[in-house]
Chain A
Amino acid sequence: MSAQRLASVTKNGVGAYVLQCRKMVFNYCENWGSNKGMINYLKKDIVEFAKANPQIEVVVEQRPAHHPVIRGEYLNGREKVICVRNMAPFEIKQKVQLLKDSSGAKMKNLTKRPVLSTTESVRGIWSPFHTNPHKI
């Protein structure tokens, strides 16, 4: 009958887990003072990070006359950029971990709806304003 193609959907982690961060670019400047922490990070910690994460392509580029920046590129085509000006190496490490953990998806506001579900409740959530008032 209809020659519709059946779609297959990836369930990351069910079989193989593919880290969504594919590349991280570290930009630094030799002259500006805000880069001090970044330069120390690049001297001390970055090699360890790159060795521990072979699936992330780590690129270090000079970018003169700018604040230090870390750019994460993801498999969904998006990128996340974090300026790490005036940060100490341990703070930069935290930002690097943040970028690694991200999926690259746009940030969703989770404060408005506390419950995320594919199935809404059948009869609605109880509300005191929509019940019968107490009668004496």
Chain B
Amino acid sequence: MFSNRLFSRSFSAYGARNVQTASAASPALSAFGARVGLEVSQPALERAVTHKSFGDVNNAQLEILGKRVAGLFCTEYLRARYPRLPPAAFDKVLTAYIGNNSLAKYGREIGLQHVLRWDAAESEGAYHSETMSSALNAIIGLVHQEKGAEAAKKFVHAHILARDVNVSDVVKIENPKAHLSRLTTRYGKEKPLSRLLKETGRATNSAVFIVGVFSGEEKLGEGYGNSMKMAEFRACMDAINKHYLFENKDFMLPSDTLSEAEYKPVAFGDTQVIV
């Protein structure tokens, strides 16, 4: 009996995989906290990564807070950076930064799936990506609650806003020629006129046309295509994108007032044209 106890105790130590325990002293969790740069207490972090399907002590309240904190800092940043972006396009860009899928993808890149606590059977159809994004939102909420707004802003800027989103085809317009015409009218410019700049292989199956759309002497945009119509379409879209995707390089954010006294607001961007 005595030897059996010793035998079983020694064997449980060999090859024991690091099982995710429910205790607050989880090494994987503290490693995760250090990796992401969180200086919060272990029990608080544990609560933030616990989905409501796991138990009563969960991240539901922190998620609510974190979602809006992330929303605020991302929205003010993107509005300052792209002042002319139309609402529909802006929503797409914002979702690319803080949408569920985007956050879940980032969570997987930082090893959140190894510390996440959830119960698939009890989650009422919540997908893994939803639980991941809820945990990440809860972590942002936790930083805000424990460390304050400045720390939360730094966290959001370092982790979420440092990611790269390609905004080049986010503006979707059905009739770009008409839209561009309205835009030029608004700014008192001459009506847009398309001109063929370069062409090659007109009678072949692989023709290339380069069309520029001009307002008087000024070239607004340029496009290529294997038909003149396609090239003109792209040229008008290029001109429209140059306008709406205008990017501010040097700007102050409203939340800078938390740390700095002198605040210079970003100028309002023009609204989109109604066709």
Contacts and interface: CB of A to CB of B under 8 A. Distances in A.
A9 B165 CA distance: 6
Interface in A84-109: none
Contact of B162 (A7, A14, A62, A75): A14
Contact of B36 (A14, A16, A57, A61): A16
B157 interface: yes
Interface in A45-63: 54-59, 61-63
Interface of B is mostly: helix
Contact of A15 (B18, B96, B162, B165): B162
Contact of B95 (A5, A15, A18, A54): A5
Interface in A21-66: 22-23, 54-59, 61-64
Interface of A: 1-2, 5-11, 14-16, 18-19, 22-23, 54-59, 61-64, 75
- A-B pairs, 10 with minimum CB distance: A15-B162, A54-B34, A15-B158, A55-B35, A6-B96, A16-B158, A57-B31, A55-B34, A14-B162, A8-B163
Interface of B: 13-16, 18, 27-28, 30-32, 34-37, 92-93, 95-97, 99, 101-102, 105-106, 109-111, 114, 157-159, 161-167, 170, 172, 174
27 contacts: A5-B96, A6-B92, A6-B96, A6-B165, A7-B102, A7-B165, A8-B102, A9-B163, A9-B165, A10-B109, A11-B163, A11-B164, A16-B37, A16-B159, A18-B110, A22-B35, A23-B28, A54-B31, A54-B34, A57-B18, A57-B27, A57-B31, A59-B18, A61-B14, A62-B14, A75-B109, A75-B110
